[in-house]
Structure 1
């Protein structure tokens, strides 16, 4: 399903109900992604709720050749967009490391953010490795997957490659193993569309300046209730991540998607959409 995108203040976004009726969900894509990653989920959510999905400034069609990205600026611009769209209270749904964008928005706009849903966002140990790569020597498997996540997000994926992935189980198995539980048998009907627009040099900038992002501080500043959605085979989330996150956030619900990796929006969008509406 295709949606008409709009651009305001350089932010490209989809708004499924500009009239502003009903509950509102703001969807924030993950590292190197674009709003297209949410298209399957938007289609499942939009009959019941208003869905706004954004290209985080610096990513998607707002990416620049230099890879410009500033977390505080991104949060401020998304906050301004919510004001212009007349959003009073919303559920902010983020994927992966964009939990820091969601957390920054929740702390800055408690009037506008009702709650958070962190999808694949329990990345306590992974964030520590990103900030201190020498920890890879202690956790080599996790460190390898963290590096793969960053490297995969740097360059835009050519449409010809995405089509090749959709048609070849072998190619998916070779390239997508860090991201999904079963790459060879991954449902491919949304693969090309969901990964279109992904890739940005901003990913490299974030990797090189990871120490400047206060992951723990940003998340601990959130006062709103937080729901976690994780895949049981997510290679980026280790056993004690959830326990550690509970100590710094008001985690009220943990939902597990079975036989799923780091990309539930692609691997099982129907169950993800069901879990999201259950938080309302």
Structure 2
């Protein structure tokens, strides 16, 4: 079982679960998750890695900050977290709202990111997602983006709201009751909802940050894109023109919440990819 602690970084307290030893692997969740999204992944990965799974700013038991929900600030949060934990580099695995954060971190600090795995998200307004967005973005993007609306009308109905995302994100299969209850608890109350929706309200700023970053540099870190339902290959198509070393996979019959819906399939992709990065890192140190 991972140990949990709170660490002060970048002006906030970040709740982080840590397990195992070896080359670091940083896991970044999305909405409506906490670090417990990785519950089925942490144990197997910790057999060969030091697994670091934080609650992102405003989520779970991390500080419910007034601001700082853009991808650049969040990338600074996790960069400072790795430094506080004494890790000079890490493989970074991210999904949903964590994906733009990991992408910017790898662009800005390629020496800090050994390998990069991005799942089920879009990267701002980069070309490649036109088919996915042909009917407009998912309905909740607009709902969450309206200041003050979601956290007002959902009070008292947080459980039903989170349940919809958990069912949709697993194609109706659902998640373990203890994980579901932890997510519901983490998103109950006006402040919890405000912080969650602040990630969506910062999306225009995050999109601008991503656009500016790729205008001046390419993603040189070995990268894996993993799609499922509903994003599919849209993220891969966004990454292709800006990434030097990209492999991509599409998981059939898998919902958006890949680490809980198909953890075995995810581990079969992650394990060799992360091991390759570990071998490269060992050779680099020997040289």
Q: TM-score, normalising length from structure 2?
A: 0.72
1:60 partner SS: coil
Q: 1-side partners of 2:70 and 2:238: how far apart?
A: 27
- Do residues 222 (structure 1) and 219 (structure 2) align? yes
Q: 2-side partners of 1:143 and 1:254: how far apart?
A: 23
Q: Give, in angstroms, the shift of residue 57 of structure 1.
A: 2.0
The equivalent of 1:186 in structure 2 is: 174
Alignment coverage as a number of residue pairs: 252
1:62 partner SS: coil
Q: Which residue, 134, 138, 142 being the options, matches 1:143?
A: 138
The equivalent of 1:60 in structure 2 is: 60
The equivalent of 1:132 in structure 2 is: none
8 Å contact from structure 1 (residues 27, 93) kept in 2: yes
8 Å contact from structure 2 (residues 120, 226) kept in 1: yes
Q: 2-side partners of 1:40 and 1:57: how far apart?
A: 22
In the TM superposition, what are the counterparts of 1:29-108 in structure 2 within 5 Å? 29-64=29-64, 66=66, 69-108=69-108
Q: 1-side partners of 2:242 and 2:7: how far apart?
A: 34
Q: 2-side partners of 1:68 and 1:79: how far apart?
A: 14
- Do residues 197 (structure 1) and 186 (structure 2) align? yes
- 1:10-46: CA deviations, max 9, x gaps? 11111213xxx42221001113532121122112322
1:27 partner SS: strand
Q: 2-side partners of 1:186 and 1:22: how far apart?
A: 33
In the TM superposition, what are the counterparts of 1:154-169 in structure 2 within 5 Å? none
Structure 2: stretches of 5+ with no match in the other structure:
127-131, 275-287
1:115 partner SS: strand
Q: 2-side partners of 1:207 and 1:5: how far apart?
A: 27
Q: 1:251 to 1:111 in 2, by over 3 A?
A: closer
Q: 1:197 to 1:159 in 2, by over 3 A?
A: farther
Q: 1:32 to 1:25 in 2, by over 3 A?
A: same
Worse overlay, 69-78 or 265-274: 69-78
8 Å contact from structure 2 (residues 57, 65) kept in 1: no
Q: 1-side partners of 2:144 and 2:268: how far apart?
A: 26
Q: Give, in angstroms, the shift of residue 62 of structure 1.
A: 2.0
Structure 1: stretches of 5+ with no match in the other structure:
130-134, 166-170
The equivalent of 2:16 in structure 1 is: 13
Q: Give, in angstroms, the shift of residue 226 of structure 1.
A: 1.0
Q: CA RMSD in A?
A: 3.5
Q: 1-side partners of 2:247 and 2:114: how far apart?
A: 15
The equivalent of 1:168 in structure 2 is: none
Q: Give, in angstroms, the shift of residue 212 of structure 1.
A: 1.5
2:93 partner SS: strand
Q: TM-score, normalising length from structure 1?
A: 0.74
- Do residues 272 (structure 1) and 269 (structure 2) align? no
Q: Give, in angstroms, the shift of residue 277 of structure 1.
A: 1.3
Q: Give, in angstroms, the shift of residue 177 of structure 1.
A: 7.5
1:61 partner SS: coil
Q: Give, in angstroms, the shift of residue 101 of structure 1.
A: 1.0
